[in-house]
Structure 1
């Protein structure tokens, strides 16, 4: 009897694995079945996300609404963003984003920065390689931000205060059906009109994700690194994405800085809506 129960349990587990494996295969097939143009399914990071899916197909589009809280030493930062991205032709994506920051002091007699719309952010990304057999995609892109003044300075000073130039490179690979890796890297150069100063740093973002069988859900980690002269900063961002409807996803991110000089823990939520396209 004991051996019979073990046999039933093993058969049930194998059937469950086979069912999940089939579901996962069907989801990957749904994305990759259309061969013209070819596209490889990759998990997209939630905090510093891509302009559009790697290997984007004409007509794809997506709305994002984000909200985050960052605990600083003497004040809290509430971040919000509205983002729209679309693919006018195969493999080419565009994005418009409006990121907001609202500051609130946490200590008495502390001066916090003024709340503002940080910038008008315009971006593009082109996937120049889709290797189906290697399950690898490569892309280049560019982000341009028109930095903006605080809300209460609009009447007294100019609205735009500078530019941020950010070319970047993306390399992604899927290992088997569930494991995903992605590298996002490039310089970030800022030029402020008033002081005529130029600041530069290098961003290197490494991503590791595991996509749950038969779903669009995943768990993973995003390592956001910045190099500036002799200074190195990194924030570890554990994250998860959950599908709540056919075209609606929710992403949850926690930020853990390795150095707590000013910024402490943070939390970020992203609501992702993908309208159907033909």
Structure 2
């Protein structure tokens, strides 16, 4: 079945470098679907095993006795410890180590000390394809245009409503500490900061096996005195949002870019 599906997909493939990228993307997609099927089978058994473990915990029978958490010294007492545990959990469920071989929605990129999330659709990020999107003849220039939204760090503790607003990213730094970032700056009339970047070599990268990050060279336009200049910067893909969390940010930016300005007058 796996080989048959791939053969059907390859019949109308493009040629040359575009064909190579096309085939690699198809193989990646087919492998992901089959792994998902395996996880569906294994996942059911893992859930049954997890329920057995919970049932073995003495706390499940009597909340007053000491359970597994006390044996492993898993006690969360102070508000700071609770917040750290919450941030770590949110980071675990929403992010993952960098994967893939080219840019995807949700890749978090560090450029000049700032963090940006790639929010271009996956179909627009396949190397050697869509050479007229955003930049004309981008294939000739061997670049991949992509949109990214900036992450603004929040230093103050987040409240329940803020966490549930679905506008935050919980990112683990090199020091092991998890910090909260938002696509909004927290001002009176917050608005996401977005930018059009151009990744060299079509956004293709190799992940460093030690740092688990991927080097990337990007270009972007910047205003100068009475003119525009093109800046080139070395960047790194340092983390990745899980797909549904990346789609959430894409939707947020889509709402921002399709908003309608109205002429209401507020009370003075």
Shorter-chain TM band? under 0.3
Structure number with greater CO (CA < 8 Å, separation at least 6) is 2
Instruction: Give the alignment's TM-score, normalised by structure 1.
Output: 0.26
Task: Kindly name which structure, 1 or 2, has the bigger radius of gyration based on alpha carbons.
Answer: 2
TM-score using structure 2 length: 0.27
Structure showing the higher strand proportion among its residues: 1
